[in-house]
Amino acid sequence: MTTLKSTILIVDDDIDYLFQMKMKLEQIGFITITADSQREAELILEKTKPDLALLDLMMENEDSGFILSYKIKKKYPDVPVIISTAVAAETGITFDIQDENNRKWIKADLFLEKGIRTDVLKNEIDRLLAEKQNNAK
C-alpha cells in the first residue's frame, strides 16, 4: 500500500507529542493534519475526511478520545481510528476492544500505548488502511 496518498489526522493536547508524531509519520511518507484538542479536530472533520485518525484519549475531558472516535465513526464509518494513550501507565485502567461489551461503546479500531516504536506504528497503520481498502471492494 502506498502511504504517500494517505492522510492521517493526529489529535493530542500534548504539543510536543503531537509534533513528534507529525514528524515521524511524515518521515515514513504519510500526509498529516494535526489538532491539539477534540474541538479543533471536530472543526477539521467538518471539512476533511482523513484516511485514518490517531487520537489521544484524555484531552479537554478524560474521555475526549472516546467521544471523538464515536463522532468520526458516525460521520465516516470507514475511517480507521487508533487511540494512542498512556492511560494504562498513568491509571492502571486498560481497555480491551476485543471484548464485545466494550466494542458497543468504544468505537476505536485499535488501542496503542504511547511510546510505540515507529516501525510498529507504521505496520499497524498499513494494516488498518489495507483492511479499509479491502472492505471497500
pLDDT, position 95:
52
Crossing angle of the two packed helices 38-47 and 64-75, in degrees rounded to 10: 10
The share of the chain scoring above pLDDT 90, in percent, equals 55
Please give the Cα distance from 92 to 5 (Å, whole number). 37
pLDDT, position 45:
96
Q: Look at 103 and 55; give whichever has higher pLDDT.
A: 55
The share of the chain scoring above pLDDT 70, in percent, equals 80
pLDDT, position 5:
84
In a domain, 9, yes or no: no
In a domain, 130, yes or no: no
In a domain, 70, yes or no: yes
State the total domains in the chain: 1
In a domain, 91, yes or no: yes
Query: Domain limits at 48?
Result: 19-112
CATH code of the domain covering residue 30: 3.40.50.2300
Cell, residue 32: 498529516
